[in-house]
Amino acid sequence: MPAKPIAYSMILASAVNNTGVLENCLQRSPDVAEGRLALRTYRDYRSASLAYNVALDELTEDVIAFAHQDVYLPAGSLTRIQNLLTELSVCDPDWVVCGVIGMNAAGATLGQTWCTANGRLLGPPVDTAVEIMTLDETLLLLRRASGVRFDAGLPSFHLYAADIIQTGIARGQKSYVLPVPIVHHSRAVVNLDAGYRAAYRHMQRKWRAVLPLHNLCCEIHHSDFYLIKEYLRHRWRHGFGPRPPEPKDNPALIARRLGWEPRA
């Protein structure tokens, strides 16, 4: 007998270190600004995992949407996400986490999002939920009843999606990419900083038995060769210069230009 569809309640959580970016992006999202989607912010934590485990402890909604502060959710995103998750619940009521762009077991990128840092859409669109092996952390939809938690020992603010998905896989649970358009109104990443490198090496140790692991930024291997190569590629691409400032323009204009919400 097919599973009964589940109507999930949802709340938004974000680890924040720049109030101006938060106000320009995530808080500007229509569902947030108009009160349909509550937002909780978490500040002054040493890592995303620590911040988001606190969210798991204190929030009671069925799904916690963990979003970067520089993400803009176009009008209608809440309804779209809830409908997609309800559909997914019929096929896989035990799903762990969903996102908007990731990679499958073959290393193919799936899902599409706008990236301001790159000035273009990234990834091929999907029409429905598709199983993946890793996700970008811009927007993660975690089902609380899955019982999966973030690794408190994972340092910094990187690779926590890859880690929690592997935790689910080890327990026989799957994760998915969904057709949810978002604007990642980000500045360019000019290198893989010390925090990223620390998180990478933690993943090397923790998941040594199943390496290599696909990842959108840098594939995780036993050797540091790929890490060093990607570090140098990022530095070369940006002329070994400093990271640019945060974009100040309105991300809603990008969503409207892409046809993701009506023009004002």
- Average pLDDT over every residue of 152-158: 97
Q: Which residue has the tokens 């990234």?
A: 122
Residue 191's pLDDT is 83
Report the pLDDT value the prediction gives residue 172, as an integer from 0 to 100: 97
- Is 90 exceeded by the pLDDT of residue 244? no
**Per-residue pLDDT tens over the stretch 95-111:** 999 999 999 999 999 99
pTM of this structure: 0.95
Position 124 scores a pLDDT of 97
Percent with pLDDT over 90 in the chain? 87
| 200-234 confidence digits (pLDDT tens) | 999 999 999 999 999 999 999 999 998 999 888 88
186-196 pLDDT, tens digit each? 998 878 899 99
Q: Where are the domains of the chain?
A: 10-257
Between the two ends of the chain, the Cα-to-Cα distance in Å is 46
pLDDT at 89 over 90: yes
CATH number of 10-257: 3.90.550.10
Q: Is the pLDDT of residue 1 over 60?
A: no
Tell me, what's the pLDDT at 240? Answer: 76
Closest CA to 178 of 264, 98, 72, 66: 98
Average pLDDT, the chain: 95
The whole-angstrom separation of Cα 6 and Cα 108 is 30
pLDDT at 2 > cutoff 70 = no
pLDDT, residue 237, reads 78
Q: What is the pLDDT of residues 125-134, one digit of tens each?
A: 999 999 999 9
| pLDDT at res. 106 | 95
Greatest alpha-carbon span in the chain: 59
Q: What's the confidence (pLDDT) of residue 166?
A: 98
Identify the CA nearest to 179 among candidates 107, 113, 228, 91: 113
Least confident interval from 25-34, 85-94, 243-252: 243-252
Stretch 241-250: mean pLDDT: 87
**Within 13 Å, how many C-alpha atoms sit on residue 33's CB side?**
16
Share of the chain above pLDDT 70, in %: 99
Which residue type, as a one-letter code, is found at position 137?
A: E
The strand pair at 39-42 and 139-143 is best described as unpaired
CA distance 213 to 136: 14
Listed residue (182, 180, 175) closest to 160, CA to CA? 175
Residue 195 — φ and ψ, nearest 5°? Answer: -65, -40
